Chain A
């Protein structure tokens, strides 16, 4: 079975803290994505990566950065967490099949910033 694993299901952090969200996939997928999910807003793309050390901004990159040092791992970093970053964060991966590739999601990381 394909698997995308997010390291933390629930996190509580304080304003100004640095936050790392880790995601690992075991499918040898080229593409990896970070989304945030908020009620009424659906999924919004933060960053994606189509290769090691490559990254592209999504729709809402402000306040976030990413790191992809190895093909299987894609990390989302909040340099200085703020309360408006309280959300559910979803990692996903896909093969490089332009336009038709299925996304495989992790179970999500629910972050609360106090």
Chain B
């Protein structure tokens, strides 16, 4: 079945460190891929997305590239800030097969000054 696997946390980094959160997927079709972020006390919000192979999604200094050959969508940021502390969720949806999103279990990131 369709699923998403992301690296377990929690992850703790110092400010200005490089961030990678790994995400791999299994899909019966050709998925669209997403990263959502949940700041403390809030709901999830879309961070970035990519809808086809080799697309790069980017927002707020975060990037992720849709790699079909490795079925991956790793999230990266070159220099994290304290304000990036949040839980990050990788997700996919299969076009034309309904509206169900499949989410990873989430990775908690804490950035310390």
Q: Do A and B bind each other?
A: yes
Contact pattern, B 81-113, Cβ under 8 Å of A = 1, otherwise 0: 000000001000111111111011110000000
A102 CB–B CB distance under 8 Å? yes
Given contacts A31-B99, A42-B104, A43-B103, contact A99 B32 (CB under 8 A): yes
A42 to B34, CA, bound (A): 15
A103 to B100, CA, bound (A): 10
A48 CB–B CB distance under 8 Å? yes
The interface residues of chain A lying within 8 Å CB-to-CB of B61 are none
The CB with the most chain B CB atoms within 10 A, among A41, A101, A103, A105, is that of: A103
What's the minimum C-beta distance from A106 to chain B, rounded to whole angstroms?
A: 5
For window 69-103 of A, CB contacts with B under 8 Å fall at 90, 92, 94, 96, 98-103
Binding site for A on B (CB under 8 A): 31-32, 34, 36, 41-46, 49, 51, 89, 93-101, 103-106
Question: What are 18 contact pairs spanning A and B, CB under 8 A?
Answer: A40-B105, A42-B104, A42-B106, A43-B44, A58-B100, A90-B43, A94-B99, A98-B97, A98-B98, A99-B31, A99-B96, A100-B93, A103-B36, A103-B46, A104-B45, A105-B43, A105-B45, A107-B41
